A and B are shown apart, each in its own frame.
Chain A
Amino acid sequence: GAVVSQHPSRVICKSGTSVKIECRSLDFQATTMFWYRQFPKQSLMLMATSNEGSKATYEQGVEKDKFLINHASLTLSTLTVTSAHPEDSSFYICSARLPRDRATEAFFGQGTRLTVV
């Protein structure tokens, strides 16, 4: 199957700083990537849909200025958590689906554990 690589896998940052998480599709071009957030013992919450070359589509309740998403190329999307606070600590996961084929499964990155201290 297709490979999605997410980096870093774990990051600890100080409150008030910004953190960037990268999501790369290694062997296919992803016009659309998805960013999820997962709280302990809970399901994945879709945060936003990242579209190559255009603005991301955010889900209701997700702060656009807090979680900046950039999808500058067909293989890379980034999520920047700005002015991070302890409540932003979570597990963030990206995924991508092959373009123009909604029937395929999504391919997931390995996730990023963010801890804000």
Chain B
Amino acid sequence: AQSVAQPEDQVNVAEGNPLTVKCTYSVSGNPYLFWYVQYPNRGLQFLLKYITGDNLVKGSYGFEAEFNKSQTSFHLKKPSALVSDSALYFCAVSSGGYNKLIFGAGTRLAVHP
């Protein structure tokens, strides 16, 4: 069975500092990995994905993520955090023939001025 773990409920970072939101996964076969962001009472917005190719993936709003097969991780990163980045972040994995996404528990990012 596939699963996603986001070990941190919340990440706090000062504005201008780099941020990392952690994600590890378990899936049979090749993983398709995604990051989404959710603002209060809204649906999810796509940030970036890893399907194949370069392990470092660049996405929206200056975010990037690094796929590490040996560590089964797909951590989200940003070199310089903004207060407006404060939101709920979800990592997700897809595998199998049904195209469904399995989400992690989510990590709340709080960026302080």
Contacts and interface: CB of A to CB of B under 8 A. Distances in A.
Interface of A: 1, 4, 6, 32, 34, 42-44, 46, 49, 57, 91, 93, 95, 97, 102-103, 105-111, 113
Nearest to A38: B38
A108 B43 CA distance: 6
A113 to B, nearest CB: 6
Contacts of A102: 32, 94, 97, 99
A111 B49 contact: no
Majority-rule SS of A interface residues: strand
A93 B44 contact: yes
Given A43-B90, A43-B106, A105-B49, A49 B43 contact: no
A43 B43 contact: no
B71 interface: no
Contacts, number: 57
Contacts of A105: 34, 46, 49
A91 B41 CA distance: 8
A110 B99 contact: no
Nearest to B51: A103
Top 5 nearest A-B pairs (CB, nearest first) are A108-B43, A108-B44, A110-B43, A105-B46, A43-B105
A46 B32 contact: no
Interface string B82-102: 000000001010100111111
Contacts of B94: 102
B99 A97 contact: yes
Nearest to A45: B103
A82 to B, nearest CB: 24
A69 to B, nearest CB: 14
Contacts of B106: 42-43
Contacts of B41: 91, 111, 113
B42 A110 contact: yes
28 contacts: A1-B46, A4-B43, A6-B43, A32-B98, A32-B99, A34-B101, A42-B105, A43-B90, A43-B103, A46-B100, A49-B98, A49-B100, A57-B98, A93-B44, A95-B43, A102-B32, A102-B97, A103-B32, A105-B34, A105-B46, A105-B49, A106-B34, A106-B46, A106-B92, A108-B44, A109-B43, A111-B41, A111-B42
